[in-house]
């Protein structure tokens, strides 16, 4: 999938129940953002991105995440979900690719290998974090 402007996928929005964070943010950018709740920044720093390069994007981190790491267990406890674009039909020459949008819980996203994600044309667009799950998480 061709992306012309990376900044279109760097945003933070919220509603009554959830935070929506664009997946092209790097962890450094998230930590510097005034729109990310302090508790979520603390969880990222202490648990999620503790052992990875902070210049990695949310998309790349979760694209290659496995169910064996501590970061996965933390994300599962937080009940993270991801808005993804998935190739709707197999690629054909001369025909424009069509994508559908799906929301994957962390469990289902991690069950797919990186190769399966690439074969399906899966692109992680957004991290969806529930406010209640964040509130109940003990730091």
pLDDT digits (tens, 9 = 90+) for 4-37: 566 778 999 999 999 999 999 999 999 999 999 9
d(C-alpha 9, C-alpha 44), whole Å? 19
- What's the pLDDT score for residue 98? 84
Using an 8 Å Cβ cutoff, are 133 and 78 in contact?
A: yes
**At CA 25, angle to CA 139 and CA 16, rounded to 5?**
60
- What's the pLDDT score for residue 73? 94
Using an 8 Å Cβ cutoff, are 13 and 20 in contact?
A: yes
d(C-alpha 101, C-alpha 116), whole Å? 17
- What's the pLDDT score for residue 110? 95
Where b means 16+ CB within 10 Å and e means fewer, 27-49 reads: bebbeeeeebeeebeebbeebbb
In tens, the pLDDT along 104-136 reads 999 999 999 999 999 888 999 999 999 999 999
Residue 1 predicted with pLDDT over 70: no
In tens, the pLDDT along 61-120 reads 999 999 999 999 999 999 999 999 998 876 677 777 788 999 999 999 999 999 999 988
d(C-alpha 12, C-alpha 27), whole Å? 13
- What's the pLDDT score for residue 5? 63
């Amino acid at each position: 999938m061709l992306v012309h402007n990376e900044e279109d996928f760097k945003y933070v929005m919220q509603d009554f129940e959830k935070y929506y964070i664009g997946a092209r943010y790097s962890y450094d950018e998230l930590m510097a953002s005034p729109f990310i709740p302090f508790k979520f920044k603390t969880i990222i720093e202490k648990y999620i991105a503790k052992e990875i390069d902070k210049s990695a994007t949310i998309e790349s981190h979760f694209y290659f995440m496995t169910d064996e790491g501590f970061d996965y267990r933390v994300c599962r406890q937080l009940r993270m979900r991801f808005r993804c674009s998935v190739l709707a039909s197999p690629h054909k020459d001369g025909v424009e690719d069509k994508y559908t949008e799906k929301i994957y819980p962390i469990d289902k996203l991690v069950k797919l290998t990186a190769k399966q994600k690439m074969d399906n044309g899966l692109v992680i667009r957004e991290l969806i974090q529930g406010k209640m799950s964040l509130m109940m998480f003990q730091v």
